[in-house]
C-alpha cells in the first residue's frame, strides 16, 4: 500500500493535462512508475473469446475393457499413463469358466465331424436308392445344426479374447488352458486401471480404460446471445495452450441454469498440451461479422466510473480511450473501440494511470 501511495503521489506531481483525458509522461517517468506497454493484439474479426470450455475424449475414442468371464487376476502388465498398441496384452487372468468354454468348443467340433461323416454316407446310400430322401434331409439338417453350434462356440471364444490361430491350435489337439489374456482394442493410452494381481473378478467387471488422445474433444458453453454467427467448421483456438481445431456440432437446447448452448469441437493441433477433464478458455471465429474487435489482457483494462477504458501510448504520454467490452473472461477480454490497429497500450501499471486520469478529470 505504501509503495502504491507513493506512485500515485509521484504521478500527481509529474503529470499535467494538455487536453481532457490525456496524461503527459516522459519515458523516464513511465519507467519509474513501473508502467509497461505492449502492442494492441491483432484485430479479431467476429471472434468470440474467453469462452469457458472443458477438454473431453470423443466417445468413439474411449474404450472400457472388462473381464468377459469370472476370473482371478494373475498379472497386470500396464499402468495408468502407459501407451499401448492395438492387440497388446494388458493383463492375464485365470478362469475355470474359460476351460469350460474351450471344452464346449471341442465338443461342438466332434459333433460337427460326426454329422459331416453321416451326411456323406447317407448321400451315397440315397444315390444307390437304399434310403429315402426324407432320411437324407434329416441328416443334412443335423449337420447344419451342428455347424451352427460350432460357429457359435468359435465366436464365443473370440469374444473371450482367443485369436483365430489359437482356436485352430486348440482344435488341432492343444491342451485346454485356464489362462485368459486381456488385450487392447486400440492404440492409445491407459487412463484408468481398476484391478490388481490376486483380485477375483466377476464377469463384466471393468479392468482398464484406454483412449486415443488425438484428436481431443472440447465442450464449450456459449451464451445464447453470442451463438448466432457460430457455424459448424468454424475455427477454435485455445491461445493459452497453442491448440486449435474446428467446431463439430452445435447443440439445439439450452442448459437450464446458465442459458448457454453446448458447442462441441475437435482439437487436432496442440493436443499434447491438453489433458482430458481440463478447463480452458477458447475463442471461436464467427461468420458474417465485420466488427473490429481486439482480445486484450484484463490487466490492460480499467474503468472510469462505469466506462471501460484502455491507455494508448502517445508521443507525450498516454491517451485515455473509451472501449466497449463484448466479453470478459478470466484472463482476457474482447473489446471494440476506435483503434487503427497499430497502437501500443499499457498492460501493467494501469491502476496508476487510472488515478492520473481521475485527477485530470477533477482538475477539469
- Complete DSSP assignment for 252-315: EEE-TTT-EEEEEEEEEESGGG--TT-EEEEEEE-SS-----EEEEGGG-EEETTEEEEEEE-S
Cell of 110: 466332434
CATH fold of the domain at 2-44+292-363 = 2.40.420
Q: How do the domains of the chain map onto residue ranges?
A: 2-44+292-363, 49-57+213-285, 69-211
User: Residue 47 burial (CB < 10 Å; 0-12/13-18/19+)?
Assistant: buried
Determine the pLDDT at residue 308. Answer: 92
Determine the pLDDT at residue 78. Answer: 96
Cell of 184: 487392447
Tracing cell 452445435 back to the chain, one arrives at 250
Determine the pLDDT at residue 15. Answer: 41
Give the closest residue to 56 by CA, choosing from 217, 208, 267, 227.
217
Determine the pLDDT at residue 364. Answer: 42
- Determine if the pTM surpasses 0.75: no
User: Residue 283 burial (CB < 10 Å; 0-12/13-18/19+)?
Assistant: buried
- Decide: helix, strand or coil at residue 197: coil
Contacts of 205 (CB under 8 A, 6+ apart): 66, 67, 195
CATH of domain 69-211: 2.40.50.100
Please provide the average confidence, as pLDDT, over all residues in the chain.
87
Determine the pLDDT at residue 362. Answer: 53
Determine the pLDDT at residue 290. Answer: 52
Which mean pLDDT values do the consecutive 10-residue runs of the chain (364 residues) have?
48 42 84 90 69 93 95 95 95 95 95 96 93 94 96 94 90 89 94 94 95 96 79 91 94 79 95 95 73 80 91 92 80 81 90 81 49
Tracing cell 462356440 back to the chain, one arrives at 153
Determine the pLDDT at residue 14. Answer: 43
Superfamily of domain 49-57+213-285: Efflux pump adaptor protein, beta barrel domain (2.40.30.170)
Amino acid at each position: 500500500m505504501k509503495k502504491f501511495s507513493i506512485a500515485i503521489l509521484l504521478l500527481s506531481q509529474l503529470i499535467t493535462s494538455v487536453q481532457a483525458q490525456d496524461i503527459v509522461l516522459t519515458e523516464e517517468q513511465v519507467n519509474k512508475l513501473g508502467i509497461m506497454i505492449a502492442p494492441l493484439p491483432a484485430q479479431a474479426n467476429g471472434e468470440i473469446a474467453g469462452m469457458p470450455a472443458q477438454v473431453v475424449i470423443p466417445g468413439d475414442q474411449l474404450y472400457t475393457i472388462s473381464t468377459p468371464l469370472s476370473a482371478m487376476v494373475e498379472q497386470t502388465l500396464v499402468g495408468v499413463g502407459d501407451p499401448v498398441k492395438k492387440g497388446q496384452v494388458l493383463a492375464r487372468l485365470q478362469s475355470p469358466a474359460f476351460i469350460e468354454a474351450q471344452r464346449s468348443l471341442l465338443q461342438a467340433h466332434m459333433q460337427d465331424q460326426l454329422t459331416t461323416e453321416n451326411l456323406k454316407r447317407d448321400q451315397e446310400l440315397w444315390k444307390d436308392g437304399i434310403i429315402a430322401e426324407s432320411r437324407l434331409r434329416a441328416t443334412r439338417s443335423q449337420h447344419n445344426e451342428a455347424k451352427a453350434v460350432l460357429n457359435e462356440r468359435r465366436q464365443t471364444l473370440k469374444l473371450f479374447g482367443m485369436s483365430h490361430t489359437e482356436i485352430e491350435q486348440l482344435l488341432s489337439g492343444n491342451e485346454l488352458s485356464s489362462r485368459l489374456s486381456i488385450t487392447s482394442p486400440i492404440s492409445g493410452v491407459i487412463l484408468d486401471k481398476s484391478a490388481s494381481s490376486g483380485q477375483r473378478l466377476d464377469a463384466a467387471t471393468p479392468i482398464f480404460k484406454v483412449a486415443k488422445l488425438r484428436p481431443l474433444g472440447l465442450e464449450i458453453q456459449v451464451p445464447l446471445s453470442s451463438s448466432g454467427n457460430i457455424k459448424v467448421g468454424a475455427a477454435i483456438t485455445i491461445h493459452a495452450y497453442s491448440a486449435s481445431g474446428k467446431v463439430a456440432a452445435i447443440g439445439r437446447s439450452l442448459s437450464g441454469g446458465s442459458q448457454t448452448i453446448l458447442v462441441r469441437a475437435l482439437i487436432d493441433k496442440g493436443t499434447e498440451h491438453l489433458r482430458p477433464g481440463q478447463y480452458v478458455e477458447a475463442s471461436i471465429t464467427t461468420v458474417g461479422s465485420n466488427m473490429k474487435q481486439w482480445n486484450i489482457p484484463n490487466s490492460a483494462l480499467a474503468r472510469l466510473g462505469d466506462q471501460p477504458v484502455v491507455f494508448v501510448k502517445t508521443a507525450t504520454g498516454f491517451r485515455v480511450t473509451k472501449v466497449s467490452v463484448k466479453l470478459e473472461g478470466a484472463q482476457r477480454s474482447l473489446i471494440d473501440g476506435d483503434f487503427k490497429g497499430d497502437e501500443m497500450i499499457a498492460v501493467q501499471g494501469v491502476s496508476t494511470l487510472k488515478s492520473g486520469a481521475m485527477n485530470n478529470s477533477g482538475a477539469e
